[in-house]
Amino acid sequence: MATTPTELIVSELRRSLPHFVPVGPSLRAAAASAGLLLVAGAVVAWVEMVRLRASTNPLKRFRFVGIAVAAALCSAVAASAVRDYVYRLDSIRLNQQHYANTVWIREYRRALVG
């Protein structure tokens, strides 16, 4: 199949431009990691609640609330970090050619200017 020079230029231009990076995979990974951490924290809080249910000290009786809140905060922070990390990896994987071209274009411009 013979391609015209215009089609060849357009295809190479499309290949060198940055590609759209969908956010769905990074959101799914973040939700999964947050869910796992939240379930683990809920199990620890539940075990603590059952263990100290008969205590007369109110601080000991409601220690599980602090554990549950800490687990929720940790899962939110971890989900944000996982989302950013997975999105960054997908962006680099999908746009390798674009990032390589920007380096060479910068070097070419530097050589022209002096």
pLDDT of the chain, 114 residues: tens digit per residue: 557 888 888 888 887 778 889 999 999 999 999 999 999 999 999 999 999 888 888 888 889 999 999 999 999 999 999 999 999 999 989 888 777 777 788 888 888 886
Whether residue 12 lies inside any domain: the answer is no
Per-residue pLDDT of 74-97, as tens digits, reads 999 999 999 999 999 999 898 887
Amino acid identity at 60: K
Return the number of other C-beta atoms located less than 10 Å from residue 54's C-beta.
8
The answer to whether residue 72 is domain-embedded is yes
Q: Is position 7 within any domain? A: no
User: Does the residue 19 lie in any domain?
Assistant: no
Question: Does 1 map to a domain?
Answer: no
pTM of the entire predicted model: 0.73
Domain of residue 51: give its range.
Answer: 24-104
Q: How far apart are CA 51 and CA 91, in angstroms?
A: 47
Q: How many domains does the chain contain in total?
A: 1
Return the closest-CA partner of residue 64 out of 55, 34, 23, 27.
Answer: 55
Separation of alpha carbons 35 and 42, rounded Å: 10
Q: What is the dihedral of CA 63, 67, 68, 70, to 10 degrees?
A: 140
The dihedral formed by the CA atoms of 14, 18, 22 and 28, expressed in degrees to the nearest 10: 130
Determine, yes or no, domain membership for 53.
yes
